Structure 1
Amino acid sequence: MKRLLSTLVALVWLSLPAHAAVEVQTVETPGGIKAWLVEEHSIPFTALEIRFQGGTSLDRPGKRGEVGLMMATLEEGAGDMDAQAFAKARDSLAASFRFNASMDSVSVSARFLSENRDEAMTLLRTALMDPRFDQGAVDRVRSQVLSILRNAETDPGEIASDTFYKQAFGDHPYGNNDNGTPESVAGLTRDDMFLAKDRVMTRDRLYVSAVGDITAEELSALLDDLLGDLPEAGPQLPERVEPAFSGGITVVPFETPQSVVMFGQKGIKRDDPDFIPAYIANEVLGGHGESRLMEEVREKRGLTYGVGSYLVPFDHSELVMGQFSSGNEVVAEAIDVVKAEWKKFAEKGLTAEELENVKTYLTGAYPLRFDGNAPIARILVGMQMDGLSPDYIATRNELVNAVTLDEINAVIKRLYDPETLSFVVVGSPKNLVAD
């Protein structure tokens, strides 16, 4: 029986092949919960993705890390079951629950077999509505978080990330490690866990998708039972914050053979009409293995094993940023190359050949994202939170192909700003002058 269940779980990755059309239904339950659904009945398995806007940015003053700690402890017992009993019940159903926290959202990901759907959802409902947050469990997970924070103090990548975001966002939640500090995490209580759950899991910020062996009617009943008793509304979301980039280089001394570098500037909102041209532009500059940055920094000069850039559209701010690591002796040269390419890109844009090549790459790669029930469920929730319509899956490649060279180069001139491109370097760089 266990081998059969494992086989069925593994087969879910084949249940929606990349070439299949993804037909999205919109569902609204009698209780008013809205969801997107893709029915796929060839495998008796369903992936359910639940997400709440707000995330760790809703940590209260002096309580940094409370949402992350709460989500990490949520599965450590519920109702009359302690952590071990809950895990045993979940495993006996061949179900999977994952609870995650990020800066702008918290998520609950569930996978379950059709034959165990009712029991699995009853168990998940208990975790969401009647968590125990036993003191022993809170203390155990807290010790894990404190260990992560201690390790981060000696990790150049984590130091670079913390420094970069602190410079960009200051005292805004985006400027602080969402795991908290050793002091804030040490001060969190069991009562804080209950308060954090009720702050972030509210119906006014709820997004849901389901993919698999379930009908609209079945999903509707499931969601009202699972989520209908959540609090109606959460606290106010953080204010918008403009990233504070003025150009220059910050060096954080650290004894390591290689320096870690993060760089960035102000980005573009996800709902900006020019977001797709900006996304295409970034692919050419630093988005994949044949990008300009990879060509100039790695292939031609061998200054790093890898370098990339990406758009970061937070809910309340946005960045264009990137990172790489280089030997201390050559990191200054690598930074100069990145600066030069950023400036060249801003002034001259890209060529017609580059645009056609990147369109071919992006339109060919897009269907490969839809490689299983769970990835599709995550994509659908992300689309909802981005304000996209269900038909975006069908029209996205058309939108990419419609972008002209003049349009994309106009967006590049608007977006990329060499004067405000800022660098954080953690290491012992040679011949590098910090500002």
Structure 2
Amino acid sequence: MIRALTVTLALIAATPAAAEVEIQELTTPGGIDLWLVEDHSLPFVALEIRAQGGAALDPEGKRGAANLMTGLLEEGSGDMDAGEFQEAREALAATFEFGVYDDTLSISARMLTENRDEAVALLHQALTEPRFDEDAVERVRAQVLAGLDAAQRRPGTLASRRFFANAFPDAPYGSDSDGTVESVSGLTRDDLMQSFQDLLVTDRAYVGAVGDITPEEAEALIDELLEGVPESGPELGGHVDFAAPGGVDLVDFETPQSIAIFGHQGIGWDDPDYFAAIVLNQILGGDGFDTRLMQELREERGLTYGVGTSLYVFDNAEAIVGSFASANATMGEAVGVVKDVWADLAENGVTEAELEAAKTYMTGEYPLRFTGNDEIARIMVGMQMLDLPPDYVIERNSYIEAVTLEDVNRVAARLLQPEDLYFVVAGQPEGLEDNVVGPAEAEEDAAEEGDETAPAE
């Protein structure tokens, strides 16, 4: 039944004409909440289902279980092996995508109206009767291990891993959700089945549907699809703060160009200053060539081809994180420029012209995100997970427009802490020797000296 007022909004569609989209809040007879957008112009439906928890639920010593498990959900189910399952899906012209992230398991599906019942039955089989056959497990495991091996040859990956390991050392966010060679090699079929049962649960599920389907049909479809799925799973973790102190941490890697990852504690979605913070981030290092960091690093000094910053908001942690690449000979100078820009914005704030340019860009690009049924379904589920109302898609730009110069400058002074900036630089950079005070170096020194507080290997 429809439990909330339908919201109508105008979105810029893929065509030049505007399209009207109505978000309907439904609850299925089985008690599953669902947001629906009816669009009968094309005979297909896009579904998006996300379950809160994700790779953060990997047990200790089993890192990578959720990632490997998710990679096997299309590798056979019920009485179908991997080949038979793929043939059945292709015969229906359906698309299923399974993904796992730090805090969520995602299931995306596209299906034709004429084959909808058969496609739902096949997807339901994958979500309730996975096989995890030995040959499939070993094939996908080999792919994961190959990816982990290749990652060791990418300086950007090495820098990112070191950064998050020191930023969140006591939380899943501090380790790669793909796992390690050791942890992935040791995963058993029982581990994968346990991960499957832990991650896909209905009391943490969020659902969006868009396309050629009525509310009554959508409710019946979701109940059929999730029938037999466990109701609850393990308890989710608690909040953690950014732990790495300010400084520079070096990862030695032979390459002519170093990669830098930098950042510190961020700000959450539910913080009253969040909208001012995202406007500030756009000015600092968001999209385009007009950001402060892009102007100072690229346009003024030619130290990089590109630099960007983002607000990372996990379920249980926040950070503001940036990255760039620079030649070894210029990395020291580039790190100094980032620190100077950070300090200047914190102390002196932004200009009215910068604020207006950022707001114009952010309000202009927002409707362009709604490019198709798949994207609308994903956006709706994301809104549900953040406990945003359906009219957020209407009101979002008004929140951006309401941000004042005083707001941004107050948040710049609050959020940007130059002394807390933590850099990880992978490469063989020059000009940083006097600045290296990173936590990883301190841990290594302590281990070499036999300090009993050094972390265990």
TM-score (norm 1): 0.95
Match of 2:242 in 1: 243
Instruction: Kindly indicate whether the alpha-carbon contact (under 8 Å) linking 1:75 and 1:83 is maintained by their aligned counterparts in 2.
Output: yes
Match of 2:3 in 1: none
Match of 1:344 in 2: 344
Structure 1 CA distance for aligned equivalents of residues 180 and 314 of structure 2? 22
Match of 2:78 in 1: 79
Match of 2:291 in 1: 291
For residues 250-279 of structure 1, the C-alpha deviation after alignment (integer angstroms, 9 at most, x for no partner) is 011110010010000100011111111100
Instruction: Kindly indicate whether the alpha-carbon contact (under 8 Å) linking 1:17 and 1:372 is maintained by their aligned counterparts in 2.
Output: no
Deviation at 1:246, TM superposition (A): 1.7
Q: Following superposition of structure 1 onto structure 2, how do residues 320-339 of structure 1 map, counting pairs within 5 Å?
A: 320-339=320-339
Match of 1:380 in 2: 380
Equivalent residue of 2:217, what SS?
helix
Deviation at 1:15, TM superposition (A): 7.1
Structure 2 CA distance for aligned equivalents of residues 121 and 412 of structure 1? 49
Deviation at 1:240, TM superposition (A): 1.3
Match of 1:9 in 2: none
Q: Following superposition of structure 1 onto structure 2, how do residues 8-407 of structure 1 map, counting pairs within 5 Å?
A: 19-289=18-288, 290-407=290-407
- Matched to 1:122, the amino acid is A
Equivalent residue of 1:41, what SS?
coil
Equivalent residue of 2:384, what SS?
helix
> Which moves more between the two structures, 226-235 or 26-35?
226-235
Structure 2 CA distance for aligned equivalents of residues 387 and 245 of structure 1? 30
Structure 1 CA distance for aligned equivalents of residues 16 and 315 of structure 2? 32
- Matched to 2:143, the amino acid is Q
Structure 2 CA distance for aligned equivalents of residues 86 and 258 of structure 1? 45
- Matched to 2:296, the amino acid is E
Equivalent residue of 1:43, what SS?
coil
Structure 1 CA distance for aligned equivalents of residues 13 and 393 of structure 2? 19
Instruction: Kindly indicate whether the alpha-carbon contact (under 8 Å) linking 1:64 and 1:184 is maintained by their aligned counterparts in 2.
Output: yes
> Which moves more between the two structures, 99-108 or 222-231?
222-231
Deviation at 1:14, TM superposition (A): 6.5
Structure 1 CA distance for aligned equivalents of residues 138 and 170 of structure 2? 28
- Matched to 1:139, the amino acid is E
Match of 1:6 in 2: none
Structure 2 CA distance for aligned equivalents of residues 296 and 116 of structure 1? 55
Structure 1 CA distance for aligned equivalents of residues 357 and 410 of structure 2? 19
For residues 275-334 of structure 1, the C-alpha deviation after alignment (integer angstroms, 9 at most, x for no partner) is 111001100000012211001100111100100001001100000010000000001111
Q: 1:90 to 1:68 in 2, by over 3 A?
A: same
Equivalent residue of 1:24, what SS?
strand
Deviation at 1:377, TM superposition (A): 0.7
Structure 2 CA distance for aligned equivalents of residues 343 and 245 of structure 1? 19
Equivalent residue of 1:395, what SS?
helix
Match of 2:444 in 1: none
Structure 2 CA distance for aligned equivalents of residues 270 and 171 of structure 1? 22
Structure 2 CA distance for aligned equivalents of residues 194 and 280 of structure 1? 43
- Matched to 2:36, the amino acid is L
Structure 2 CA distance for aligned equivalents of residues 18 and 264 of structure 1? 41
Equivalent residue of 2:178, what SS?
coil
> Which moves more between the two structures, 317-326 or 18-27?
18-27
Match of 1:3 in 2: none
Instruction: Kindly indicate whether the alpha-carbon contact (under 8 Å) linking 2:105 and 2:199 is maintained by their aligned counterparts in 1.
Output: yes
Instruction: Kindly indicate whether the alpha-carbon contact (under 8 Å) linking 1:16 and 1:372 is maintained by their aligned counterparts in 2.
Output: no
Equivalent residue of 1:223, what SS?
helix
Equivalent residue of 1:358, what SS?
helix
Match of 1:430 in 2: 430
For residues 173-203 of structure 1, the C-alpha deviation after alignment (integer angstroms, 9 at most, x for no partner) is 1111111111111111111111111101011
Equivalent residue of 2:21, what SS?
coil
Structure 2 CA distance for aligned equivalents of residues 349 and 424 of structure 1? 26
Structure 2 CA distance for aligned equivalents of residues 98 and 206 of structure 1? 16
Instruction: Kindly indicate whether the alpha-carbon contact (under 8 Å) linking 1:18 and 1:369 is maintained by their aligned counterparts in 2.
Output: no
Equivalent residue of 1:73, what SS?
coil
Instruction: Kindly indicate whether the alpha-carbon contact (under 8 Å) linking 1:18 and 1:367 is maintained by their aligned counterparts in 2.
Output: no
Identity %, equivalent residues = 54
Structure 2 CA distance for aligned equivalents of residues 375 and 17 of structure 1? 17
- Matched to 2:125, the amino acid is T
- Matched to 2:267, the amino acid is I
For residues 18-46 of structure 1, the C-alpha deviation after alignment (integer angstroms, 9 at most, x for no partner) is 83233210010000000111111101111
Instruction: Kindly indicate whether the alpha-carbon contact (under 8 Å) linking 2:13 and 2:370 is maintained by their aligned counterparts in 1.
Output: no
- Matched to 1:409, the amino acid is N
In the alignment, is residue 412 of structure 1 matched against residue 412 of structure 2? yes
Instruction: Kindly indicate whether the alpha-carbon contact (under 8 Å) linking 1:18 and 1:370 is maintained by their aligned counterparts in 2.
Output: no
Structure 1 CA distance for aligned equivalents of residues 240 and 285 of structure 2? 25
Match of 2:448 in 1: none
Structure 1 CA distance for aligned equivalents of residues 170 and 150 of structure 2? 23
Instruction: Kindly indicate whether the alpha-carbon contact (under 8 Å) linking 2:333 and 2:431 is maintained by their aligned counterparts in 1.
Output: no
Structure 1 CA distance for aligned equivalents of residues 362 and 193 of structure 2? 43
Q: Which ranges of 4 or more aligned residues in structure 1 deviate by more than 3 Å?
A: 13-19
Structure 1 CA distance for aligned equivalents of residues 17 and 169 of structure 2? 42
Instruction: Kindly indicate whether the alpha-carbon contact (under 8 Å) linking 1:168 and 1:245 is maintained by their aligned counterparts in 2.
Output: yes
Structure 2 CA distance for aligned equivalents of residues 369 and 398 of structure 1? 17
Structure 1 CA distance for aligned equivalents of residues 345 and 293 of structure 2? 10
Q: 1:15 to 1:431 in 2, by over 3 A?
A: closer
Structure 1 CA distance for aligned equivalents of residues 410 and 17 of structure 2? 34
Gaps of 5+ in 1: 1-12
Match of 1:4 in 2: none
TM-score (norm 2): 0.91
Structure 1 CA distance for aligned equivalents of residues 171 and 55 of structure 2? 12
Deviation at 1:17, TM superposition (A): 6.8
RMSD: 1.3
Instruction: Kindly indicate whether the alpha-carbon contact (under 8 Å) linking 1:313 and 1:319 is maintained by their aligned counterparts in 2.
Output: yes
Structure 1 CA distance for aligned equivalents of residues 305 and 230 of structure 2? 48
- Matched to 2:269, the amino acid is R
Structure 1 CA distance for aligned equivalents of residues 13 and 367 of structure 2? 14
Structure 2 CA distance for aligned equivalents of residues 17 and 24 of structure 1? 21
Structure 2 CA distance for aligned equivalents of residues 20 and 337 of structure 1? 45
